[in-house]
Amino acid sequence: MTVDFFPFETKAGVTFKDKNLLRQAFTHRSYINEMRDFSVEHNERLEFLGDAVLELVVTDYLFHKYPKKPEGELTSYRSSLVNSQTLSSIAATLEMGEYLLLSRGEAKDKGRGRQYILANTFEAVIGALYLDQGYEAAREFLERHVLPLIDDIIAKGAFIDAKSRFQEKAQEIASVTPSYKTLREVGPDHSKKFTVGVFLGSELVAEGEGESKQEAEQNAARVGLQEKGWL
């Protein structure tokens, strides 16, 4: 399958020297499983690399931007910038979904699964850019598309730890300490998706999904705050 990545490069403000790296960044494992003779690897190794580059760039930026902030608050800021919801939103703005190489089955999923694929692809693009042009190019890309979001996130209070907020409200209003239970685990060991429920006693308040149990718990708490009107 031939994909013209030029519109994406134009929108993202990057020009890859090695177009195969960019193609790999957009290639999902499911596509490889369906197209056995495809000459490019899937994007999981690039995603692994891009995740580390993203964490470093964001951490360095926040460390210097907020010299008076304690470690805990900086961690919350960073989490709000690098979580799958934020990254998939940026990927959608860049119309990355138009270039994904997916199996026919994955291509039909327009729900939560697509959000994780977009977030992972965004990280893979970072990894590909790092390999193609180095750290500075990756940092400049993130300076354009990720770092400017922090001011709006702080203004809206979106960085506040959802689990802590939900626990405070549950104890204050319902006199109950919430509990979390893993409801489902799907996918291979290297790429699991978790669904976690947040409970008040025996009442299932909400469910959340994530690539780790911690992320799924945060998402469950975030939905729970909405369900209870505790935002």
Rounded CA separation 91/85 (Å): 10
Catalytic residue among 44, 47, 51, 132: 51
Helix ranges (H only) for the chain are: 6-12, 19-25, 29-34, 44-65, 71-82, 84-93, 104-108, 112-133, 135-145, 150-156, 162-169, 213-228
Would you call 37 a catalytic residue per the annotation? no
3-state secondary structure of 71: helix
**203-210: strand order across its sheet:** 179-186, 193-200, 203-210
Q: Where are the domains of the chain?
A: 6-156, 162-228
6-156, superfamily in CATH?
Ribonuclease III domain (1.10.1520.10)
Q: What is the pLDDT of residue 104?
A: 76
Question: What's the chain's Rg over C-alpha atoms?
Answer: 19
151 among known catalytic residues: no
pLDDT tens-place values along the chain, 231 residues long: 678 999 999 999 999 999 999 999 999 988 887 776 667 799 999 999 999 999 999 999 999 999 999 998 898 899 889 988 899 999 999 999 999 998 877 766 666 667 889 999 999 999 999 999 999 999 999 999 999 999 998 888 778 788 988 999 999 999 999 999 999 998 877 778 899 999 999 999 999 988 788 888 988 998 899 899 987
Overall fold of domain 162-228: Double Stranded RNA Binding Domain (3.30.160)
Q: The whole model's pTM is what?
A: 0.77
> What is the token pair recorded at 229?
């009107």
Q: Which of 123, 132, 209, 215 is catalytic?
A: 123
